[in-house]
Amino acid sequence: MKKSDNTPQQKKNKKPKSRKTTFSIGYLFLFLVVLYVIQIFMSPRADEIPYSQFREYVSEGKIVDCSIGERIIKGHFRGSSSEKDLPVPFVAVPVHDPKLVEELKRQNVQFKGEIENTFFKSMIMWWIFPFAIVALAWFFISKKIGGVGAPFMSFGKAKIKLYAEEDVKKTSFADVAGCDEAKEELKEIIDFLKYPQKFQKLGGKIPKGVLLIGPPGTGKTLLAKAVAGESGVPFFSISGSDFVEMFVGMGAARVRDMFEQAKHKAPCIIFIDELDSVGRQRGAGLGGGHDEREQTLNQLLAEMDGFSSQKGVIIIAATNRPDVLDSALLRPGRFDRQVTVDRPDLLGREAVLKVHAKDVKVSPNGDLKIIAKRTPGFSGADLANVINEAALLAARRDKKFVEMGELEEAIERVVAGPERKSRVISDEEKSIVAYHESGHTLVAALLPHSDPVHKVSIIARGAAALGYTLQLPTEDKYLTRESEILNTLCVLLAGRAAEEAAFHELSTGSQNDLERATKLTRNYVCKFGMSAALGPQTYGRQQGNIFLGHDLVQEKEYSEKTAIEIDAEVTRIIKDSYNKAKTLIDENMDKLQLLAKKLEEVEVLEGDQILELLSLNNGNKPKQSGKDNESGEKAVS
């Protein structure tokens, strides 16, 4: 192994690097201002006296010294008879007086003649010097006020980032996985940018704008870069928030400048990220709308109408809030094609994991297909985080490869946060948490066709969770049946029921479970229309956005009597689910105690160990009562 060259003796002998002195225009400006202030305000003020008084001071012997010029006499005189007092400066306008010199000699006054150059001195003092200060101040402000390194006169310039063709070509569709349908939609844009004549000869018009819609982290920005990389054209990127500034009209000016720059680089792609920050619905704000943002949006609409798609400028925008966009943006002729970039399915997750694991040394036993099955609902960014967390864990443990254990632990870190083994809890609290999580696990195992319990732990994770029960579905689900919702409620409330059955007392550990159960039940009644008492009807609007004024003044869509009925139905369903969970636990108390004691001993149980403890792998079903339901939710508490 090669030894480091930085031995203590060598470090001692190394000369410290000299720091280069950098010139700052701000320091020069400050120095000139201070100098000017000293000249104007700190220099001694001279008393203006008439020539007659000056002659009187000369006769009385009060003049200490003086300089006689053609237009001015200046010097010092004694203000009192005391020699200790400081001489007072004075100025006087001279008159023709031949006897003045003889009188000054007689009084032993030090005097001299002075040749004045008042014109140049006045120019420097009152014109050139102040003008230099103003010029330096303007230069300093122009460099700083527009942002770091931004000139003052560039407020109207768009903060658009142009990617070189070499950088753009590094990203292709091979780097994007899990959104095959979106890639198919965008291939037409690539063909138009590469071979525009193929479309133009048939009279077809390519869409001017493509709007990428999807949850955060699904790869919308990466997909836009891949389109530019596949087509080999310049790629302009800007965020929607970069348009709006504190100065009125700057947003609209930047929109105009952005399109001007794009026209010179055509064919090219303009990518606007977070379009909802500038494209929100107009005229619906709390105070009548945001005038500057609306001006920017109006200019964007005008520019999209003003240029022709034949010029080869394609606009791609991304947002995760299409519901708040202005309708004028979504009409044909503007963003007339909408491409949904959703969370990947099972095959898509496996492909995304392979893309992110290309540069990571994964052990041969690291099956990414299993990891894909255990990460339903994960976005591309979440999957990238799983691979990265696994690599960090393997490096922390001095391993040469990322193994399956690190990959599975990385999933738990992303879902529930890192383990907090340093949090020490008492034996009594540990027992409460063990029974709580065992309740979730037992009820989830008792209800058929429910998602299997992958792991249960009483090791604290994240900020508040003292333990968690992780259920993972065996396949992707796009619909949820009524029985699955009711079973999910039972699983969520089973932790509280287990605490009551074991200790005959409740704790605050069920807070998150109750919040989730109440929200799910209210959706069951008001949103899904599954309540038999209230019928197949939705109650209330979707939760509105506070910046949309009409959501705040919307009248209630149901009466107070109906609201009372909704509350009563929500309470009934929650109580029924809780009673069912409590009944299942009471009938299988021996299984609950077995799980809880084992959890207190080992702190973590895997799915196979749970099945073995409950004797489910031998076909011995625990006792259950009531109607069989299904569960498909993960319980974390």
Given the residues 303, 350, 437, 484, the one annotated as active site: 437
The helix/strand/coil state of 117 is coil
Give the C-alpha distances (Å, rounded to integers) separating 576 from 300, 451, 487, 493. Answer: 55, 22, 11, 10
Name 260's Cβ contacts closer than 8 Å, sequence gap at least 6. none
SS (H, E, C) 347-380: HHHHHHHHHHCCCCCECCCCCHHHHHHCCCCCCH
**Which CB contacts under 8 angstroms, 24+ apart, belong to 82-86?**
none
- Beta-strand pair 47-48/88-92: parallel
Exposed (0-12), middle (13-18) or buried (19+): which is 545, by Cβ within 10 Å?
A: middle
With 0-12 CB in 10 A as exposed, 13-18 as middle and 19+ as buried, what is 145? exposed
Q: Are 481 and 525 in contact (CB under 8 A)?
A: no
Residues 318 and 224: beta-carbon distance below 8 Å = yes
Nearest to 466 by CA among 499, 503, 504, 501: 499
Q: Which residues pair with 456 in a beta bridge?
A: 469, 605
Round to the nearest angstrom and report the end-to-end CA distance of the chain.
50
CA atoms within 13 A on the CB side of 352: 30
CB neighbours of residue 385 within 10 Å: 18
Q: Give every CB contact of residue 338 below 8 A, 6+ residues apart in sequence.
A: 210, 211, 213, 322, 330
- How many CB atoms neighbour CB 187 within 10 A? 14
**Calpha distance 279→294 (Å, rounded):** 8
d(CA 275, CA 48) in angstroms, rounded, equals 70
Whether 60 is catalytic is: no
How many residues are given for the chain? 637
Residue numbers annotated as active site: 437
